[in-house]
Amino acid sequence: MAMRQIDHWIGGEQRRGSPQSMFEVTDPVTGAVIAEVPMASPGDVDAAIGTARSAWPQWREASLSTRAAVMFAFRELLEQHRLELAETISAEHGKVRADALGELRRGVEVVEFACGVGQLLKGERTDDISSQHDAYTVRQPVGVVAGITPFNFPAMVPMWMFPVAIACGNSFVLKPSEKDPSVSVRIGQLFAEAGLPDGVFNVLHGDADAVNALCEHPGIDAVSFVGSTPIARHVHRTASLAGKRVQALGGAKNHMIVLPDADIGQAADAAVSAGYGSAGERCMAISVVVAVGAIGDELCEAICRRIDALRIGPGLGTEPVDMGPLVTAEHRDRVLSYIDLGESEGAALRRDGRGFTVDAHPGGFWVGPTLLDDVTADMKVYEDEIFGPVLCLVRVDSFDEAMELVENNQFGNGVALFTRDGGAARRFRREAPVGMVGVNVAIPVPMAYHSFGGWKDSLFGDHHMHGPEGVRFCTRLKAVTEHWPDPADRGVDLGFPTAR
């Protein structure tokens, strides 16, 4: 049987292009190669950007009503095809069906936000700012926006970017992860069915060469990126030097502080849900639980009981499961190496996911849920983003010590506090140097009407994604001053213009 081919989506159609090489897409459950995807050549990059550039002037002039109508139609098609899209995600990523459906739901929220583009692009106006002069501001699209997205949310993260960009009148080139690229092409097809003109949304597959080309290409005006911190820093530096507007979201090491007064059962539920959901392959996953005071043993035991009840298996199987495999063999091996490292550093393995397998699928990329206890801040398993089902438990004596851990960490993506103490919660949300804060909420990802983004080494650039910040990133502000003099008021004045 011929290998399935996944093509670029350029100008409203699938195109093979002239790839430099082909990347093999694997099924994480079985380890089998299920498709090939082309890695874009320089000519393919030029073709995608040139098509987006050519489509932009007409789309920029489309009325806000026209753009909103396309977004409403696109939203309906996403809802109609949500099960199909979720199964496409699961087949290539490995996450369970329910998790994939949740990913789509959060992405659709941004589409719904973008449907209100007529409200979002309203400017400000002041009549008679000086005698017979009126001033107002408008927001206009930046041009062609490139989105570079990771494997862990192949639908949601792109939908953090392109709905707002396109609704604001830009055209878009998406470079998805080569590990799970199919859903991006299917989204392009649905967008075309919704009435989006050809060339406004394009999908370009590729590797690091394609990323660098998008960052440096003169036909790109702005770059959005989500991925690891080293690559985020590189993208921000490279694209900025090329004169582009850039938002680059990097890595995370999200802490969840549990105070002695917290509901331990609620905290354990949250830690397991936020630590092992999507096999820990989330930038907002809780990867460090900080037990304050004498609750460490009780909290550890409660987490272990919940780990033991987790069901692990194929995300698209007939049996209900909570967690699937990791995305690739290479990523599985990286995660396993961190478990080895944690043990060698002196952490106590309360639950060990090494050697876990599913009998029916021994070739899958499995890692069982792992709990490392007695972790300290000088360990690599504490410092590094593992991005897998590995939860670290740190024990401290006081709230101040817990806050120091958050303050001293290089990342500032998300953080959570579990407590019944309103004063502690208020201090926490005011003082935590982190972009997204949860109080009794383990994964504080904001709804689409607010913006997503971290601080410190979790964000490079000035703008967060989607919400009001997304609109600001995708548009340029223009100030207009108009003078319509009374016909009877004429004359030359060589003085410097002032308000009077």
Identify the DSSP state of 2. P
Q: Which pair of structure tokens corresponds to residue 163?
A: 């709905």
Pairing, β 459-461 against β 245-249: antiparallel
Q: Which pair of structure tokens corresponds to residue 361?
A: 């699928």
Q: Is 283 a catalytic residue?
A: yes
Cα-based angle 365, 312, 442 (whole degrees, multiple of 5): 100
What count of other Cβ atoms lies within 10 Å of the Cβ of residue 169? 23
* Contact (Cβ atoms closer than 8 angstroms) between residue 268 and residue 300: no
Residues forming a β-bridge with 203: 9, 174
Q: Choose, from 115, 168, 215, 283, the residue flagged as catalytic.
A: 283
Q: Which pair of structure tokens corresponds to residue 278?
A: 């999507």
Burial state string for 22-39 with b = 16 or more CB within 10 A and e = fewer than 16: bbebbbbbbbeebbebbb
Largest CA distance in the chain: 91
Starting at the earlier edge strand, list the strands of the sheet with 475-483: 125-130, 133-141, 475-483
Q: Which pair of structure tokens corresponds to residue 476?
A: 């340029």
**Whole-Å CA distances, 277 to 35, 97, 479:** 26, 12, 46
CA separation for the pair 171, 191 (Å, rounded): 13
Identity at 416, one-letter amino acid code: A
Residues forming a β-bridge with 416: 256, 438
CA separation for the pair 49, 210 (Å, rounded): 12
DSSP 387-416: -SSEEEEEEESSHHHHHHHHHHSSEESEEE
Collapsed DSSP state (helix, strand, coil) of residue 465 = strand
CA separation for the pair 479, 118 (Å, rounded): 19
Q: Which residues are catalytic?
A: 283
